[in-house]
């Protein structure tokens, strides 16, 4: 298709490469660069919940990260870092819990820095590129369910040129390094460790059998040679963010699944499959994985429906290591970031989800049935209605139902398999890459990281929808990102109407004195770009993780490595708590059952972290504690 080195492209850049869109220059609602930070967009920026909105007296002073912590932050904010390790505030410490290649079963080999391990044992070890995770208590055991999003192929396949697989054995190794790990962890006098002989430990990979449930199950679009019934699948892919249900199961979310498929011959498909390929970025070349050359089911010239079995939210029961994971078609098919589950006033299950691609949509699912503790849960994630969000510039919004009637599509199954086209049909608001969504445990409100969008006001999205500047996405060529917050009417998550504001706009106030300097709660001491991961702790503080430009140059000067910050939704304050190694993304966050340990994911470090010089860089989970042993979440 092209001569570009696909192995070195990010998923976002690869999407643009395989599906270039013409540049548009006629958008007439772009924000002028001269707009002052204090005056921009009136009341859209409302850092605090209620009376604190737009106030500056409680903001962290714009001096340095050495400003003293405020009453709700039990630490002194730290400065940026540009080195090869993790940093936390004074009075805290961190240790590595587990890293790529570490055994999670007694019979698994130790890590080999020369080979990166072999294909045979790749599903007996901790996988690559940790991302979303959740903690569970099952009986007296403490479990972590952890995503393994993708591979760093040049590192995982050191014998292969540019990490391109040379045969089926290489493909099998990559397939087994990805997916999900469920591990039992325990703490002793020497710290946290994995219980390798636990019967609960489990690896779920690209080769694990899955069930397909919900309205799209058994539809022709999901039928393949491998499963003519359309009710079974094999593997879960590009597992990014996560979620947790009230009944104690784990939700893993399939994001950039399109990169695993390619073609060895001519691709002969017709509507609606062909339209779906274009919108979802599925083409003849895979994203450097080359699965389609060695594993027949990823060859779309032979199996055109296979990509329809990816792009879903998958439910896993960590308490039952023999259970079969379930792909829930009721939640829609797109590039899922995470799945935030809350309950409506009447007990119905509400799931918020973002589609992480430039100019795509924010979604909500509302179940028909209500959740009852201890009651049956089958169907709660499939029998209901999927919606896409419409944000109005007057700070109101509504959820638009995606049904055959509202979209003009032939069936509910087509609506769900092609949820992006359904969102376009109803006129949902194009967003700046909706990533993690988190709900405040102390208020009926939810937050979404809109990580960045260099195409805002420049190009339409993959479906041709205009991406002109709009209310929650108020900057063209947005390289910094923002966090939008909404509150449903009548404090009911099932209500179709909501109000919204922006909790923070990331930016660089040292360079810009306009909208690109960020909101008033961004200072020289806490600035960041590309908010990505997000989670609330039990005290109602919101933890923000970044995956952005860490060059520390140009418009990103002074931001250092990617980081984790904590925000106060009441006052709008934001402070830097942790910095990751050079080149890494800080992603995935959960707490021990006693809340005295915070588990944080460090993904794709460029630096030789955590083993030091001369060793392969390895994604890892670190355990952060207070020196005095007090709770920190």
178-211 pLDDT, tens digit each: 999 999 999 999 999 999 999 999 999 999 999 9
Q: Helix, strand, or coil here: 538? A: coil
E strand or H helix that includes residue 176? helix 168-177
The model carries a pTM of 0.93
Cross-strand pairs, 501: 485
What is the structure's pLDDT at 274?
Answer: 75
What is the structure's pLDDT at 212?
Answer: 98
| Spatial separation of the C-alpha atoms in residues 250 and 263, rounded to whole Å | 33
Beta strands 141-148 and 384-391: pairing type? unpaired
Query: Per-residue confidence at 63, pLDDT binned at 50, 70, 90?
Result: very low
The whole-number average pLDDT for the span 442-455 is 98
Full strand arrangement of the beta sheet holding 446-450: 336-343, 348-355, 362-370, 384-391, 396-401, 497-505, 482-488, 446-450, 434-439
For residue 68, pLDDT over 80 is answered with no
Q: Could you tell me if 591 and 545 are in contact, meaning their C-beta atoms sit under 8 angstroms apart? A: no
The whole-number average pLDDT for the span 476-501 is 98
What is the structure's pLDDT at 24?
Answer: 41
The whole-number average pLDDT for the span 140-149 is 98
Q: Could you tell me if 148 and 182 are in contact, meaning their C-beta atoms sit under 8 angstroms apart? A: no
Q: Provide the token pair at 348.
A: 């119905």
| Spatial separation of the C-alpha atoms in residues 610 and 84, rounded to whole Å | 8
What is the structure's pLDDT at 38?
Answer: 38
Closest CA to 390 of 420, 351, 437, 428: 428
**Dihedral over Cα of 355, 527, 82, 72: its sign:** negative
- State the number of CA atoms in the 13 A half-sphere of 298 facing the CB: 26
What is the structure's pLDDT at 332?
Answer: 98
The whole-number average pLDDT for the span 290-318 is 96
What is the structure's pLDDT at 48?
Answer: 60
What is the structure's pLDDT at 495?
Answer: 98
What is the structure's pLDDT at 287?
Answer: 81
Q: Provide the token pair at 574.
A: 């934001």
DSSP 32: P
Closest CA to 181 of 149, 140, 213, 139: 149
For residue 58, pLDDT over 50 is answered with no
DSSP 593: T
What is the structure's pLDDT at 71?
Answer: 59
Residue by residue, DSSP assigns 380-437 as TTTSEEEEEEEE-TTSEEEEEE--HHHH--S-HHHHHHTHHHHHHHHTPPP-B-EEEE
Q: Could you tell me if 352 and 342 are in contact, meaning their C-beta atoms sit under 8 angstroms apart? A: yes
| Spatial separation of the C-alpha atoms in residues 424 and 209, rounded to whole Å | 33
Q: Provide the token pair at 382.
A: 């499939």
For residue 529, pLDDT over 80 is answered with yes
Mean residue pLDDT of the chain comes to 91
Give the total residue count for the chain: 633
| Spatial separation of the C-alpha atoms in residues 587 and 551, rounded to whole Å | 18
Q: For tokens 């460090």, what's the residue?
A: 602
Higher pLDDT residue, 549 or 162?
Answer: 549
What is the structure's pLDDT at 2?
Answer: 44
Q: Provide the token pair at 150.
A: 């993708």
Closest CA to 174 of 11, 288, 338: 288
Q: Provide the token pair at 174.
A: 């990559």
556-603 pLDDT, tens digit each: 999 999 999 999 999 999 999 999 999 999 999 999 999 999 999 999
């Amino acid at each position: 298709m092209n001569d570009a080195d696909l192995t070195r492209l990010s998923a976002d850049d690869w999407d643009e490469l395989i599906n270039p869109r013409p540049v548009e220059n006629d958008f007439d609602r772009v924000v002028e660069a001269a707009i002052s930070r204090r005056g921009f967009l009136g009341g859209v920026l409302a850092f605090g919940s209620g009376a604190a909105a737009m106030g500056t007296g409680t903001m962290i002073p714009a001096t340095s990260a050495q400003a003293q912590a405020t009453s709700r932050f039990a630490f002194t904010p730290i400065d940026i870092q540009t080195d090869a390790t993790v940093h936390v505030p004074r009075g805290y410490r961190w240790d590595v819990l587990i890293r790529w290649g570490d055994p999670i079963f007694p019979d698994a080999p130790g890590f080999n820095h020369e080979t990166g391990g072999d294909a045979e044992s790749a599903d007996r070890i901790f996988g690559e590129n940790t991302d979303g995770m959740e903690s569970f208590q099952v009986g007296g055991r403490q479990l972590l369910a952890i995503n393994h999003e993708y591979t760093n192929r040049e590192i995982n396949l050191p014998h292969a040129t540019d990490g391109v697989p040379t045969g089926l054995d290489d493909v099998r190794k990559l397939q087994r390094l990805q997916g999900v790990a469920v591990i039992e962890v325990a703490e002793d006098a020497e710290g946290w460790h994995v219980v390798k002989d636990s019967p609960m430990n489990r690896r779920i990979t690209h080769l694990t059998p899955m069930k397909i449930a919900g309205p799209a199950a058994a539809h022709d679009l999901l039928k393949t040679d491998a499963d003519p019934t359309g009710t079974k699948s094999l593997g879960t892919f590009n597992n990014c963010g996560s979620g947790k249900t009230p009944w104690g199961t784990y939700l893993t979310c399939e994001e950039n699944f399109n990169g695993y498929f390619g073609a060895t011959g001519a691709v002969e498909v017709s509507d609606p499959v062909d339209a779906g390929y274009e919108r979802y970025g599925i083409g003849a070349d895979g994203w450097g994985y080359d699965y389609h050359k060695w594993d027949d089911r990823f060859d779309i010239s032979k199996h055109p429906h296979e990509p329809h079995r990816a792009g879903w939210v998958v439910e896993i029961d960590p308490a039952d290591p023999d259970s079969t994971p379930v792909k829930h078609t009721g939640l829609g098919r797109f590039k899922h970031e995470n799945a935030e589950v809350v309950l409506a006033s009447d007990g119905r299950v509400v799931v918020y989800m973002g589609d992480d691609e430039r100019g795509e949509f924010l979604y909500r699912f509302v179940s028909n049935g209500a959740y009852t503790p201890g009651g049956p849960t089958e169907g709660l994630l499939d029998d209901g209605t999927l919606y896409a969000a419409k944000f109005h510039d007057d700070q109101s919004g509504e959820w638009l139902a995606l049904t055959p009637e509202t979209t003009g599509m032939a069936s509910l199954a087509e609506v769900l398999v092609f949820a992006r086209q359904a969102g376009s049909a109803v006129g949902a608001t194009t967003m700046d890459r909706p990533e993690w969504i988190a709900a405040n445990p102390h208020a009926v409100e939810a937050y979404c990281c809109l990580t960045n969008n260099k195409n805002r006001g420049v190009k339409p999205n993959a479906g041709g929808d205009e991406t002109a500047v709009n209310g929650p996405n108020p900057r063209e060529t947005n390289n910094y990102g923002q966090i939008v917050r909404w509150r449903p009417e009548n404090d009911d998550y099932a209500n179709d109407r909501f109000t919204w504001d922006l909790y923070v706009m990331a930016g660089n106030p040292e360079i810009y004195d306009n909208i690109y300097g960020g909101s008033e709660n961004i200072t020289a001491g806490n600035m960041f770009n590309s908010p990505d991961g997000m989670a609330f702790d039990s005290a109602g503080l919101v933890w923000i993780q970044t995956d952005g430009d860490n060059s520390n140059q140009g418009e990103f000067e002074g931001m250092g490595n990617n980081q984790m910050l904590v925000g106060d939704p009441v006052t709008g304050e934001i402070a830097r708590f942790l910095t990751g190694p050079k080149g890494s993304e800080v992603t995935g966050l959960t707490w021990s059952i006693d809340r005295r340990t915070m588990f944080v994911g460090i993904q794709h470090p460029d630096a030789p972290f955590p083993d030091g010089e001369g060793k392969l860089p390895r994604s890892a989970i670190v355990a952060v504690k207070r020196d005095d042993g007090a709770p920190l979440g």
